[in-house]
Amino acid sequence: MRPNTWALILAAGDGRRLQGLAHDAHGRPAPKQYARFGARGSLIGRTLDRALGLAPHDRVVSVVALAHHAWWEKELDVLPIENVIVQPENRGTAAGVLLPLLHIAHRDPDALVVVLPSDHLVEDEATLRASIESVFDEVRDHPDEVVLLGITPDQPDCEYGWVLPEQPNDGATHRVAAFIEKPPESEAARLMTLGAVWNSFMFVARAETLIGLYRRRMPGLLDTIARGLDTLDRVYAGLETHDFSREILQSSPESLRVRTVPPCGWTDLGTPVRLERVLGPHRAAAPDRAQPAA
């Protein structure tokens, strides 16, 4: 594996849109990243496997929610305890990325990080992994860039965010021309013809590059969390909710590029409609009871 390579798993979300449909291995309601949806292992378990294919286990870090302790304690027991970063409360993705990022940068100032949301279902892991590894090499050569992993769309899904590269997909990495959030279906169809891709919220960058974006775009949040790492309960109680994609990435187009991932059977299972479409109505509605209750 490449030196200084880290994987950051985002697992602190509440998954409210799938409440009532997401269940753990014992049939209990659970945040969607801990659900199985009839598949092998939970979504976070699959993400952990993905991360361990990209970085050694002592350089895989996950941010989790204190309220989800009953699930992550077992799911992440292969990681060193210091690599499981616990948020007292959910204050949006800007804080959710920054908190573990500061831990990584403190331990390895030269860290190169791939950020992996924990709620993705991927059929062809090898294709996704090859794309991520190629982006690692590119960011090493261009350390001031943040490279987004855009997913080749297979339909004009109007529930996803889209990223439009400056040039059509030719296998290379291009600057970002525009972000389009949840376009109507007719616009999504047009975007497909222009070579736009789904925004996966997976990206690769140096830890210090990302922290530099916070320094420029959200200096107050950076200062508050950096100074309060030993008093997180108090710090989080006073934090407002902020969105990383909108307030950091979309505000920094000069630092962004996008690499198109070839078709790999990717979905984030973010809505009941998408869950039903991907897994089928009977599997989406019923708890996974493959294992006996604890």
Q: What is the domain partition of the chain in residue ranges?
A: 5-142+201-247+265-285
Q: How many C-beta neighbours within 10 Å does residue 172 have?
A: 11
Element (H, E) at 132: helix 125-141
5-142+201-247+265-285 topology per CATH: Spore Coat Polysaccharide Biosynthesis Protein SpsA; Chain A (3.90.550)
**Structure tokens, 131:** 């794309």
Contact 114, 9 (CB under 8 A): no
Sequence-distant (6+) residues with CB within 8 A of 155 are none
- For the entire predicted model, the pTM comes to 0.91
CA distance 57 to 1: 11
What is the per-residue pLDDT for 273? Answer: 73
What is the per-residue pLDDT for 290? Answer: 33
CA distance 239 to 247: 15
What is the per-residue pLDDT for 294? Answer: 26
- Series of mean pLDDT values for 10-residue runs along the chain (294 residues): 90 74 75 79 93 97 96 95 97 97 97 96 95 94 95 93 88 92 95 95 98 98 97 96 96 95 89 70 39 29
